[in-house]
Amino acid sequence: MIFEKVKEFVKTKGVPLYRIAQIRQAVYEKGISDWDEATNLPADLRQALKKEVKLLSFDVVKVEHSKRDIVYKALFKLNDGNKIESVLMKPGKTWSVCVSSQAGCPLGCAFCATGKLGFKRHLTDEEISDQVLFWYQFLRKNNLGERVSNIVFMGMGEPLLNYVNVVKAIENLSCTDYLNIGQRHISVSTSGIADKFYNLAQDLPQVNLALSLHNADNEERTRLMPINRKYDLDTLKEKLEEYIARTGREVFIEYTVIEGENNSPAHVRKLGKWINSIKDNYLLHVNLIACNEAVGKAVATHESSVKKFAAALKAMNINVSIRKSLGSDISAACGQLAAKEGKRK
Ligand code: SAH
Ligand code: SF4
């Protein structure tokens, strides 16, 4: 729900304006999942809201819970029947939400289940921010905690191809009157739509940028990520330098380690060389992720390979950490979101 709709409703129905603050409190402080729970409002107003303003812009088809990790995955059905997924996880002490920005994805990376689906459509700003609102309601309803602390755009789709709606959704989510999630706690992950980096630096300089690199050799990267034909390693380097010069912020380089594909000593050397060639590269931080089983080139990669890769990068003076992959038992980990209703293979 976009709160503007409530304001509009109040004004057109001649409801006293002080109700706006009460409705805001019910939605964003109490975290109601149904207008009936807004007991601070009179019954007739609750009824009217129920008829005219939907709390969520999609239907919740199901929520799954990982048996191994603190991870939940939800499947949503959009108004036009398209389906998307979103993930709630607790990697440490706080809750993070992984949101989708598109139904499907047009970029077809060789290791990603979302890419395999092809592109259905862009999500609206409301469909993006409602994913977080849903998880906030979920946390409240299940007494799991107070709030969502972090948001990562690592679900389905390429956020920088849906730039305007992603920016609007982030502005909405970080608004102090609503969910109040600080922009420094929001990360946008991109396969490298480099001509949008500078826009992001201007529009949302506090938001974290994560670049999915996965290979520092142009030919090999193109095979893994066809978008590299349009934005190759030289372009990425140039646009990253501009981004860093403008924001002075740390940038995360995501590297999914795929056994036998991008984890040889030569791959480490190329990656290290590329990073060290970038101006102000002390602001670059490599996040290594063990590849999750998904499609095509994605083979489950053992942690020992990732550790070896990390040690070799460290030896080249590069900031590096290993990101733990969560929720693969319910296909909720990176690259596994396919918004299927039935059982997976
Ligand atoms: N389209 C954006 C964001 C969504 S994908 C992007 O590509 O960055 C989120 C992350 O999951 C990306 O870093 C992506 O490369 C990674 N990913 C995709 N498939 C994966 C797999 N099978 N195992 C591990 N990570 C994967
Ligand atoms: Fe799209 Fe990202 Fe998957 Fe590539 S990794 S297909 S850009 S969602």
Task: Specify the CATH number for the domain of residue 28.
Answer: 1.10.150.530
Catalytic status, residue 291: no
If asked whether residues 81 and 199 sit together in one domain, one would say: no
Cα 212 to ligand 1 centroid, rounded to whole Å: 7
Taking CA 294 as the corner, what is the angle to CA 293 and CA 298, rounded to the nearest 5 degrees? 65
Is residue 186 assigned to a domain? Answer: no
Q: Looking at 8, 37, 85, 238, which residue is catalytic?
A: 85
Q: Which SS3 state, helix, strand or coil, does residue 104 take?
A: strand
pLDDT digits (tens, 9 = 90+) for 299-324: 888 899 999 999 999 999 999 999 98
pLDDT digits (tens, 9 = 90+) for 12-45: 999 999 999 999 999 999 999 999 999 999 999 9
Residue 224 scores a pLDDT above 90: yes
d(CA 272, CA 336): 28
Cα 218 to ligand 2 centroid, rounded to whole Å: 17
If asked whether residues 235 and 297 sit together in one domain, one would say: yes
If pLDDT is split at 50, 70 and 90, which confidence band does 151 have?
Answer: very high
Query: What pLDDT score was predicted for residue 293?
Result: 86
Catalytic status, residue 175: no
If asked whether residues 173 and 271 sit together in one domain, one would say: no
d(CA 239, CA 193): 10
Q: Which SS3 state, helix, strand or coil, does residue 339 take?
A: coil
Ligand 2 atom nearest the C-alpha of 102 is: 8
Cα 37 to ligand 2 centroid, rounded to whole Å: 39
Is residue 75 assigned to a domain? Answer: yes
- CATH code, domain carrying 157: 3.20.20.70
If pLDDT is split at 50, 70 and 90, which confidence band does 344 have?
Answer: very low
Whole-number mean pLDDT of the chain? 95
Q: Looking at 109, 112, 291, 334, which residue is catalytic?
A: 334
Q: Which ligand is nearest to the CA of 295?
A: 1
Closest to 58 in 3D by CA, of 39, 37, 86: 86
- Burial letters for 69-83: b for 16+ Cβ neighbours within 10 Å, e otherwise? bebbbbbbbbeeebb
Is residue 19 assigned to a domain? Answer: yes
If asked whether residues 44 and 65 sit together in one domain, one would say: no
Name the domain count of the chain.
3
Domain, as residue range, for 13? 1-55
If asked whether residues 34 and 91 sit together in one domain, one would say: no
Mean pLDDT within 51-56:
97
